[in-house]
Each structure stands twice: as structure tokens, then as C-alpha cells.
Amino acid sequence: MDYLQEIEQNVSRLVGAYEQARRDNGALQSQLKQQADELFALRTQLKQTQTELRNLQIAHALTVDSPQRIKAKNHIKSIITDIDRTIDVLKH
């Protein structure tokens, strides 16, 4: 008879542990979703910040008398010259 009671106690403990594991799993799933949402928001914010930084760097390079501005200006002139030559070739 003691053996049967011991089995019942073990089954009862096992059921309790299972129910606790299910509750813990639900809480962890909820926490995981919340952190995934937060990560997505942070990545979006990072992309926006990187875009803003790149735009500011470009604006700064084109507004300040600097080697980057001169280089960018010369590059743009070169591209325009190439486009003009291409248009002339296509006209003939």
C-alpha cells in the first residue's frame, strides 16, 4: 500500500511541475514577443538615425569649404560632362 501512495505522490508532483512549466513557458513566450517587438523598434530607429547621419554628412560636405566638397563638386562636374558627351553622340 505504501508503494501505491508513493506513486500517487510522484504523479501529483509531476502534474504540478508540468503545470508550473506551462505557466513559465507562457510567461517566457510573452516576454520573448515583447523583446522581439522592442528589438524591431530599435532596429527601425537605428536605420532612421543612420539615414539622418548620412544626410547630415552629405549636407556638411557640400556646404563647408572642404576637400570633400571640392571633390564632390568636381565629381558632379565630371558626371555632367559625361552626360553632355553622351547626349551629343546620341544626337548624331
Within 13 A of 71's CA, how many CA atoms are on the CB side? 5
Helical H segments across the chain, by residue range: 2-63, 67-91
CA gap 3, 13 in Å, rounded: 15
Pull the grid cell for residue 36.
522581439
78 — pLDDT class (breaks 50, 70, 90): very high
Confidence check: pLDDT of 3 > 90? no
CA gap 42, 30 in Å, rounded: 18
90 — pLDDT class (breaks 50, 70, 90): confident
pTM for this predicted structure: 0.54
Angle between helices 67-91 and 2-63 (to 10 degrees): 80
Q: What pLDDT digit, counting tens, does each position of 38-74 carry?
A: 999 999 999 999 999 999 887 877 776 777 778 878 8
The percent of residues above 90 in pLDDT, for the chain, comes to: 64
Mean pLDDT across 7-29? 95
Within 13 A of 59's CA, how many CA atoms are on the CB side? 6
